[in-house]
Amino acid sequence: MHDVSTQRVAFARVPGVACAVGESPLWHAAEQAWYWVDIPARRIWRLSWHGGAARHWTAAEMVACIAVHADGGLVAGMETGIFHLRLRDDGGIDARRLAAPPELGPGMRFNDGRCDRQGRFWAGTMWMDMAAARPVGCLYRYDGGHGGGLSAPLASGLVTQNGLAWSPDGATMYLSDSHPARRRVWAFDYDADAGLPSHRRLFVDLATHAGRPDGAAIDADGCYWSAGNDGASLLRFTPAGRLDRALALPFAKPSMASFGGPDLDTLLVTSIAPPGASRDDMAGAVLLLRPGVRGVPETPFGA
């Protein structure tokens, strides 16, 4: 990996949690709590920073990605569209669909998503059978909080859309395709006023690194942290696209990391348990670790 040695770091496992496909971790600053999802289990998990067991809610359909909603609850990309979710104290979920692109239907769902620095929700679609390698995924912007609704596709031809992130100043947008046939991360110039990416260019080709570029996080230095799915590592790339750190993880398939905690100095890392994984394996675990750098606050949807 370009002469960068893989580092081992101390971590703590979140007890009582084993996900089939853990994804989309986020830090809810107002609640001082972490949220993440388990896609096929249709679960949304929550862990308070101040202690106590993690708890979960079960949705009526798969939840792939989430962000904090400024009016309370979460905005989510799901099987049949983008929803506003409110998690009830009794364990139920109130769901209101906000928008849906026309290609969603049997075999399709949303995948990776998050808000830009202006509070617009971005998410991409994918064909769920990854073995089919169908390049039918598209990337959308939902700007309902500002009256804009759902955009036309702003990127298309994606197999497994992933890796959405924005630089700390919001001027650069990142997007990956984590399918084994792609394994690329792209950078775009981002017009924050219009909410439009342009000048797409290759940022990193993961064919020369370990794993596939799954979910991503941005730190305060503007570096891009990619979950190296199938590579058992977190990879940190500078804004110039140079690998400068690699953190070893105790599972083969990390899926996404997110900075949080009161000082934004803790990474919560989700993972995937492949079929046949042992119950004693770390596959599907959720970890907390401190990488020695801080993240940047995420903007709630509609803020």
Which residues are identified as catalytic? 214
Instruction: Quote the CA–CA distance of 303 and 75 in Å, as a whole number.
Output: 12
Residue 292 CB neighbour total at 10 angstroms: 10
**The token pair that represents 21 in the structure block:** 């496909």
DSSP 252-284: S-EEEEEEESTTS-EEEEEEB--TT--TTS-TT
Measured between alpha carbons, how far is 164 from 186 in angstroms, rounded to an integer?
A: 10
Q: For strand 63-68 and strand 108-115, is the pairing parallel, antiparallel, or unpaired?
A: unpaired
**68 contact partners, CB below 8 Å, separation of at least 6:** 26, 28, 30, 74, 75, 115, 298, 300, 301
